[in-house]
């Protein structure tokens, strides 16, 4: 059976409704139709339990916000004949991106109960069909080349043309079916326009207090815009446990479950939901009983939090009096009060990306100096480790694109591309500006500078040359800097760096082990990707061996070494890391009390015994049992 978008011959853009209708063939297949006619939208909907990846502890109970998308703004414009090819290429990129998004959603349907799959699959198929060699796609291409309009304009005009044809179809057609088909075309058009205009898929303006944000995908830059005091919880279709969005949500203390298959289809704005950030469940339209149980869990969770808060002033010391250094990671300045409350003894990783996100222009030296200075001052004498810009991978920064520093469309494989220190060594103005700002701010208190994504010695040497050159220039200009420059350390977050740690220890002043990227690169598993989330395992023996190798290299040189990846915030993994010789950890602020509690409950000897046992194992399942007490799922 053919569909509206099956037309083998593209209808001319100015075809009459009748022409398009006759080319379009009969109405689409029945499954979607049945789905729509079966359901009465005003009827109370039954409770529905969905499962995802728990990424941030806590219970949220509240109405859903965000299921509706703000429209992407399209400025209609004409193009020059010479630009037709470039415009068509832009369109093809958006088509490929849209197809990828839809395929991903489809691949994850297998996690849903069968009846839900039967409901959703035909809809996604319909979208995918339209994104293929369809009337819509051909029509847009033709409009770009014949009418010389921008790709966005062409998509809008073509979807309008097709939907008006559908709505004008003979009255014997089912009106609900026609509306549904028109909506499907519009939905595909919206997706294309969003991808063309790089418009985020959701808007958070107007998020009411106490709401649960539900959306398909939350980018790290989006998460940085959230106000944790307003947001009760967050749930998304996409995402993995240690992606930057997950890190942000943990940092903000927002209960969150990501990678929830079928979420987009299961919730509507205003639906009541219960989010359990520990169990990884999302209950839509909870019954009275479910709500009562959730309220109980919430009270219990709050009680534990209050108890943990009472640890704030107690030292992080093992039962045999070994002092452990617990610091916090900072992603965005709103976390500072949370860090102060957590009892963290410094900032072990300030991810400076926040300064560059959600803006069109790059922050200048003075602006950056002020941001670093205020953080250093707020930490009142505790060390602040500022990591220089780690652009790349999933961290999108518009300002770098709009200023032409990085291309608008990134590499196919951005995690292996121009990331972190690689970009900074190419864009030395960007690097020097940031180093100058950090150096100027460092007069305000103890500071360290951290280089991301290092893989070889030359990068550290080049970075140090630039660092010292910037310091000399500032001194020549009469800038007051600390007598001894802040230590310059490196992230150990690639297998290459971990295995060269003995050599790198001769060049760097300290190591910060980034277990997130280290796990990703060692196991070849994208840390933010739902489909391979089960393979992402920091307890894999290969990752642990790299952590051990790097730690021992640092300890032999009596060089400071810490862990600042998400592993450091897991109280159950801390004894193992201590057993490997680590004494310094930096984590999301909310984890500091929980980790302190774990530290205060163990003796170093026990940790060493545990680490020995673990490091003898090559079976990840056995390691999970030893460390977490549960087999690896």
Token readout for 28 is 């689409």
- 518-554 residues labelled b (16+ CB within 10 A) or e (exposed): bbbbbbebbbbbbeebeebbbbbbebbebbbbbbbbb
Give the shortest CB-591-to-ligand PEP separation in angstroms.
Answer: 13
Among 129, 244, 540, 624, which one carries the catalytic annotation? Answer: 244
In the bound state with ligand PEP, the residue whose beta carbon lies nearer, of 545 and 622, is 545
Q: Which of 220, 565, 579, 593 binds ligand PEP (CB under 6 A)?
A: 565
Measured distance CA(293)–CA(603) in Å, rounded: 37
Residue 517 as a binder of ligand PEP (CB under 6 A): the answer is yes
29-61 core/surface letters (b: 16 or more CB in 10 A; e: else): eeebbeebeeeeeeeeeeebebbbbbbbbbbbb
CB nearer to ligand PEP: give 281 or 515.
515
The answer to whether 239 contacts ligand PEP (rule: CB under 6 A) is: no
Determine, following the binding rule CB under 6 A, whether residue 526 of this chain makes contact with ligand PEP. no
Shortest distance, CB of residue 352 to ligand PEP, whole angstroms? Answer: 10
471-to-61, 442, 479, 511 alpha-carbon distances in Å? 52, 11, 9, 22
Question: 633 near 625, Cβ under 8 Å?
Answer: no
Binding partner at 564 among ligand PEP, Mg ion, none, C-beta below 5 to 8 Å by kind: ligand PEP
Asked if residue 181 binds ligand PEP (CB under 6 A), the reply is: no
271 binds, among ligand PEP, Mg ion, none (CB under 5 to 8 A by kind): none
Range in contact with ligand PEP (rule: CB under 6 A) among 48-56, 133-141, 156-164, 514-522: 514-522
Q: What is the smallest separation between the CB atom of 309 and ligand PEP, expressed in angstroms?
A: 25
Q: Does 396 bind ligand PEP (CB under 6 A)?
A: no
CB nearer ligand PEP, residue 241 or residue 442 = 241
**Is residue 268 classed as helix, strand or coil in its secondary structure?**
coil
First-to-last CA distance in the chain? 43
Q: Closest Cα to residue 120, out of 275, 313, 261, 281?
A: 261
Shortest spacing between CB 12 and ligand PEP, in angstroms: 51
- Pick the closer one to Mg ion by CB: 514 or 560: 514
DSSP E strand boundaries for 531-629: 561-563, 584-587
Q: Give the shortest CB-515-to-ligand PEP separation in angstroms.
A: 5
215, 234, 564, 607: which one is catalytic? 564
Nearer to ligand PEP, 343 or 452 (CB): 452
Q: Answer for the pair 388, 451: CB distance below 8 angstroms, yes or no.
A: yes
Helix, strand or coil, per DSSP, at residue 502 = helix
Cβ atoms of 64 and 280 within 8 Å: the answer is no
392 binds ligand PEP (CB under 6 A): no
Q: Quick check: 493 binds ligand PEP (CB under 6 A)?
A: yes
CB of 508 to ligand PEP, least distance (A): 16
CA distances from 512 to 448, 498, 587, 613 (A): 11, 11, 12, 25
What is the Cα 357 distance to its own chain's centre? 13
> Which listed option, Mg ion, ligand PEP, none, makes contact with residue 351 (CB within 5 to 8 Å by class)?
ligand PEP
Decide if 244 is catalytic. Answer: yes
Residue 529 interacting with ligand PEP (CB under 6 A): no
Least distance to ligand PEP from the beta carbon of 173, Å? 53
| Dihedral of alpha carbons 574, 580, 582, 588, sign | negative
Stretch of residues binding ligand PEP (CB under 6 A), selected from 10-18, 39-47, 400-408, 513-521: 513-521
**Which one of ligand PEP, Mg ion, none interacts with residue 394, CB within 5 to 8 A by kind?**
none
| Residue 515 binds: one of Mg ion, ligand PEP, none (C-beta under 5 to 8 A by kind) | ligand PEP
Residue ranges that bind Mg ion, judged by CB under 5 A: 493, 514, 517
Question: What is the nearest approach in angstroms of Mg ion to the Cβ of residue 250?
Answer: 15
Contact pick of 135, 178, 202, 351 for ligand PEP (by CB under 6 A)? 351
Determine, following the binding rule CB under 6 A, whether residue 445 of this chain makes contact with ligand PEP.
no
Query: Can residue 243 be called a binding residue for ligand PEP (CB under 6 A)?
Result: no
- State in angstroms the smallest separation of the CB of 541 from ligand PEP: 18
- 514 binds ligand PEP, rule: CB under 6 A: yes
* Phi, psi at 284, each rounded to 5°: -100, 135
Residue nearest to ligand PEP (CB): 514
Q: ∠ CA 120-126-130 to the nearest 5 degrees?
A: 150
234 is catalytic: no
Burial class of residue 356 in the structure, from the number of CB atoms within 10 Å of its CB (0-12 exposed, 13-18 middle, 19+ buried): buried
Cβ proximity to ligand PEP, 23 vs 386, nearer residue:
386
Between 122 and 420, name the residue whose CB sits nearer to ligand PEP: 420
Contact between 515 and ligand PEP (CB under 6 A)? yes
Task: Say if CB 50 and CB 261 are below 8 A apart.
Answer: yes
436-439: long-range pairs with CB below 8 Å, 24+: 436/365, 436/369, 436/470, 436/473, 436/474, 437/365, 437/366, 437/368, 437/369, 437/371, 437/372, 438/368, 438/372, 438/386, 438/388, 438/486, 439/470, 439/471, 439/474, 439/479, 439/481, 439/485, 439/486
Strands (E), 412-554: 447-451, 488-492, 511-513
Chain position carrying tokens 């808007």: 203
Residues 15-34 that bind ligand PEP (CB under 6 A): none
Q: From the list Mg ion, ligand PEP, none, which binds 122 (C-beta under 5 to 8 Å, kind-based)?
A: none
Active site residues: 244, 564
Binding site for ligand PEP (CB under 6 A): 247, 349, 351, 390, 493, 514-517, 564-565
């Amino acid at each position: 059976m053919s569909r509206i978008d099956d037309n083998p011959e593209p209808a001319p853009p100015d075809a009459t409704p009748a022409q398009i209708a006759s080319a379009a063939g009969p109405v689409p297949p029945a499954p979607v139709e049945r789905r729509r006619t079966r359901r009465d939208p005003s009827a109370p909907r039954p409770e529905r339990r969905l499962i995802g990846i728990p990424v941030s502890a806590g219970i949220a109970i509240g109405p859903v916000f965000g299921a509706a998308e703000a429209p992407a703004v399209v400025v209609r414009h004409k193009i020059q004949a010479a630009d037709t090819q470039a415009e068509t290429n832009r369109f093809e990129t958006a088509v490929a991106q849209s197809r990828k998004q839809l395929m991903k959603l489809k691949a994850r349907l297998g996690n849903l109960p069968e009846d839900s799959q039967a409901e959703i699959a035909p809809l996604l198929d319909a979208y995918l069909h339209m994104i293929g060699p369809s009337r819509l796609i051909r029509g847009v291409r033709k409009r770009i080349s014949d009418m010389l309009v921008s790709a966005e304009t062409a998509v809008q005009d073509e979807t309008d043309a097709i939907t008006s044809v559908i709505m004008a179809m003979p009255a014997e057609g089912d009106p609900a079916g026609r509306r549904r088909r028109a909506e499907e075309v519009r939905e595909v058009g919206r997706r294309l326009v969003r991808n063309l205009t790089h418009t985020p898929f959701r808007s958070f303006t107007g998020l009411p207090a106490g709401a649960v944000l539900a959306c398909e995908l939350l980018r790290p830059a989006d998460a940085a815009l959230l106000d944790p005091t307003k947001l009760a919880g967050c749930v998304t279709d996409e995402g993995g446990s240690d992606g930057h969005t997950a890190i942000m949500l943990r940092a903000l203390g927002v209960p969150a479950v990501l990678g929830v298959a079928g979420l987009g289809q299961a919730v509507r704005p205003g639906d009541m939901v219960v989010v359990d950030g520990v169990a990884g469940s999302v209950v839509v339209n909870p019954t009275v009983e479910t709500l009562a149980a959730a309220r109980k869990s919430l009270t219990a969770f709050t009680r534990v939090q209050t108890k943990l808060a009472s640890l704030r002033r107690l030292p992080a010391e093992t039962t045999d009096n070994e002092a452990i250094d617990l610091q916090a990671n900072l992603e965005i300045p709103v976390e500072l009060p949370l860090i102060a409350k957590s009892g963290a003894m410094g900032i072990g990783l300030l991810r400076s990306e926040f300064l560059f996100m959600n803006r069109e222009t790059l922050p200048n030296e003075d602006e950056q100096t002020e941001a670093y200075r205020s953080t250093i001052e707020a930490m009142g004498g505790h060390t602040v480790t500022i990591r220089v810009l780690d652009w790349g991978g999933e961290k999108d920064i518009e300002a770098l694109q709009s200023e032409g520093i990085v291309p608008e469309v990134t590499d196919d494989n951005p995690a292996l591309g121009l990331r972190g220190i690689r970009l900074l060594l190419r864009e030395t103005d960007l690097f020097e500006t940031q180093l100058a700002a950090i150096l100027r701010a460092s007069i305000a208190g103890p500071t360290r500078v951290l280089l991301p994504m290092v893989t070889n010695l030359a990068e550290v040497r080049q970075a140090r040359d630039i660092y010292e050159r910037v310091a000399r220039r500032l001194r020549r200009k009469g800038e007051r800097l600390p007598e001894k420059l802040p230590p310059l350390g490196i992230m150990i977050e690639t297998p290459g760096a971990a295995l060269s740690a003995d050599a790198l220890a001769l060049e760097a002043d300290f190591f910060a082990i980034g277990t997130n990227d280290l796990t990703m690169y060692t196991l070849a598993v994208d840390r933010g990707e739902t489909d391979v989330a089960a393979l992402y395992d920091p307890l894999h023996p290969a990752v642990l061996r790299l952590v051990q190798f790097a730690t021992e290299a640092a300890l032999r040189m009596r060089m400071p070494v810490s862990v600042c990846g998400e592993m450091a915030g897991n109280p159950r993994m801390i004894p193992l890391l201590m057993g490997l010789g680590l004494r310094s950890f930096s984590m999301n602020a909310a984890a500091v009390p929980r980790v302190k509690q774990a530290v205060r409950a163990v003796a170093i000897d026990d940790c060493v015994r545990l680490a020995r046992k673990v490091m003898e194992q090559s079976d990840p399942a056995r390691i999970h049992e030893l460390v977490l007490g549960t087999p690896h799922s």
